[in-house]
Amino acid sequence: MTNSTETQNLLTIRGLRIEGKSGDHWNEIVHGVDLDLKRGEVLGLIGESGAGKSTIGLAAMGFTRDGCRISSGTIDFDGIDLVNATQKVRRGLRGHRIAYVAQSAAASFNPAHKLIDQYCESPIVHGVMSRDQAEKDAVDLYRRLHLPNPEDIGFRYPHQVSGGQLQRAMTAMAMASKPDLIIFDEPTTALDVTTQIEVLSAIRDVVREFHTAAIYITHDLAVVAQMADRVKVLLKGEEVEESDTRSMLNDPKEDYTKSLWAVRSFHAEPKADVSQACTPVVSIKNVTAAYGKVPVLHDVSFNIHKGRTVAVVGESGSGKSTTARVITGLLPASKGEICFNGKVMPGSYKQRSKDQLRQAQMIYQMADTALNPKQTIGEIIGRPVQFYLGLRGKDRLERVRALLDEIELEPDLYINRLPSELSGGQKQRIGIARALAAEPEFIICDEVTSALDQLVAEGILKLLSKVQKDFGLAYMFITHDLATVRAIADEVVVMQQGKVVEAGPKDIMFTPPHHAYTDLLLSSIPEMDPDWLDKLLKQREEAGQ
């Protein structure tokens, strides 16, 4: 055994280069990254998709996925050279001294075995402890992680346990052999915000108590602010900068890091209040809807006025997307009605006239699936121009070019490209142009920025508020991101389990007192303040007593 002290590195990575195979040749995806981690320290790895976070995290276990290889560099774990160690040595470390928590616990637990059996596997196989001891430990860990029925929950199968609980059970499994290091690979990304809080605080407490070192991988700045002692920012396989969490948040050095932080500063200009008396563009009146026999919306009502943005917030299953489907006519309401400019619309899109369809357009979350990959940009934007406005040939081309100008893409450069030749943000702009091409009065924006990297998302928000001003559009903005709501909304509608919990102008909605659920939801959304989680937990504890 090594005589480790607090100052000695547990993990040292130098000049790590990793290649991935695409087709017949190898492309470098990690370009010489250094990493130091001391015992008991939590390092946040943060970056956009494609930054190489997970690849580096796995490499810290001496593991590469199929089709990847370490081409050069050293990985030293407590004096063991992981790059050159035999398979047997590496296997002996994994699950014993280095453990892993995956993003999707539901997929990463074996469906054929009970949780407790999967928990006990590592400690028994690695000869750390007996089955009895492991089971006792498991119950203790389950309790520390605030799992319900810690005595019994281990005897369930993975599909019998909820997502948030599974994620905690997976953390427990990682702790089973009392490892020195745990790699957390986006453990809360798939969870709802209110569940995320519980998992975050559980993970943090356990890691602190056992003095376990951890690498915490995420793309969410606010989350990493709560979890990490130090933060390393990655971009396309290279390190941008690294420093302790507080100074990183208060004083980022590199432009790229600053740009990540800057996103939160955008705010649309406040608008003059409209008189509630004038006819709203869209009016949802007492809508109830169901998928088959499963009711999903109950008595939902709200209005959207010309030139204003209504943000609809809620967790998955709250009915916010279903509301959009009812408005567009994809899911006809079983009770209640949808009015455009005061006129009742037919329930199904099939019965609506071309002009009625034109008035309401939609922008989708995933620009990848929203644009036909086999059509050029010119065709995608040109179709609604021709279909609704009857423009052809030269007129149509002129209109498409004007729209491309409107979304700030050079027409000559883009009009003949396919969607696959555009970046994510550019695709989303095309989605906006396609909606604008119909010259609508109302646009539904369904999580339009949540799949985008933050800087790009800001550009989209700015564009959306510019075209709103230019054309006097009404927006329904579906989102779960509070920062986005703050940035762009005029009014907020909070939904939970198919009902509108609370609705009103943004200023009022962000000022307490709230409805209990609004409060829970708003307070659960992580903030950039590293003390946010502590404050919140304390607040909730006090409120609970």
Which of 373, 393, 512, 544 touches other proteins (CB under 8 A)?
373
Segment 386-445, which members bind other proteins (CB under 8 A)? 387-388, 434, 438
**H or E segment to which residue 474 belongs:** strand 474-479
Residue closer to other proteins by CB (options 39, 427) is 427
Q: Which DSSP letter does residue 161 get?
A: S
Segment 45-64, which members bind other proteins (CB under 8 A)? 58, 61, 63
Rounded to the nearest whole angstrom, what is the least distance from the CB of residue 519 to other proteins in the complex?
31
Q: What tokens were used for 454?
A: 């933050």
Return the beta strands (E) in 349-428 as ranges.
360-363
Which of 121, 220, 337, 481 touches other proteins (CB under 8 A)?
121
Distance, C-alpha 465 to centroid of its chain = 22
Q: What tokens were used for 541?
A: 């504890």
C-alpha distances out from residue 527 to 47, 264, 314, 488, 523, Å: 17, 10, 17, 18, 9
Rounded to the nearest whole angstrom, what is the least distance from the CB of residue 163 to other proteins in the complex?
14
Question: Binding residues for other proteins, how many (CB under 8 A)?
Answer: 57
Which of 16, 99, 300, 385 touches other proteins (CB under 8 A)?
99
Q: Which DSSP letter does residue 1 get?
A: -
Does 375 contact other proteins by CB under 8 A?
Answer: yes
**Distance, CA of 332 to CA of 326 (rounded, Å):** 6
Does 95 contact other proteins by CB under 8 A?
Answer: yes
Placement of tokens 């130091």 in the chain: 36
For residue 440, cis peptide bond before it (omega within 30 degrees of 0)? no
Does 108 contact other proteins by CB under 8 A?
Answer: yes
Does 23 contact other proteins by CB under 8 A?
Answer: yes
Which of 8, 15, 81, 107 touches other proteins (CB under 8 A)?
107
Does 384 contact other proteins by CB under 8 A?
Answer: yes
Which of 13, 30, 59, 109 touches other proteins (CB under 8 A)?
109
Which of 51, 53, 77, 96 touches other proteins (CB under 8 A)?
96
* CB atoms closer than 10 angstroms to residue 526: 22
Q: Quick check: 380 and 434 in contact, CB under 8 A?
A: yes
C-alpha distances out from residue 501 to 14, 122, 287, 417, Å: 52, 46, 14, 45
CB within 8 A of 334, min separation 6: which ones?
A: 288, 289, 290
Does 366 contact other proteins by CB under 8 A?
Answer: yes
Rounded to the nearest whole angstrom, what is the least distance from the CB of residue 246 to other proteins in the complex?
32
Rounded to 5°, angle at Cα 523 from 520 and 529: 160
Does 347 contact other proteins by CB under 8 A?
Answer: no
Rounded to the nearest whole angstrom, what is the least distance from the CB of residue 24 to other proteins in the complex?
7
Which of 15, 81, 125, 416 touches other proteins (CB under 8 A)?
125
Would you call 275 exposed, middle or buried from its count of C-beta atoms within 10 A (0-12, 13-18, 19+)?
Answer: exposed
Segment 127-186, which members bind other proteins (CB under 8 A)? 157, 159-160
φ, ψ dihedrals at 489, nearest 5°: -80, 150
Which of 14, 31, 38, 126 touches other proteins (CB under 8 A)?
126
Select from 65-73, 208-216, 248-256, 294-302 the region that touches other proteins (CB under 8 A): 65-73
3-state secondary structure of 188: coil
Residue closer to other proteins by CB (options 157, 256) is 157
Distance, C-alpha 234 to centroid of its chain = 18
Residue closer to other proteins by CB (options 279, 353) is 353
Does 65 contact other proteins by CB under 8 A?
Answer: yes
Would you call 293 exposed, middle or buried from its count of C-beta atoms within 10 A (0-12, 13-18, 19+)?
Answer: exposed
Q: Which DSSP letter does residue 279 get?
A: P
Rounded to the nearest whole angstrom, what is the least distance from the CB of residue 173 to other proteins in the complex?
8
Select from 31-39, 97-105, 194-202, 217-225 the region that touches other proteins (CB under 8 A): 97-105
Site for other proteins, rule CB under 8 A: 22-24, 58, 61, 63, 65-67, 90-96, 99-100, 102, 104, 107-113, 121-122, 125-126, 157, 159-160, 328-330, 349, 352, 354, 357, 362, 364, 366, 369-375, 383-384, 387-388, 434, 438
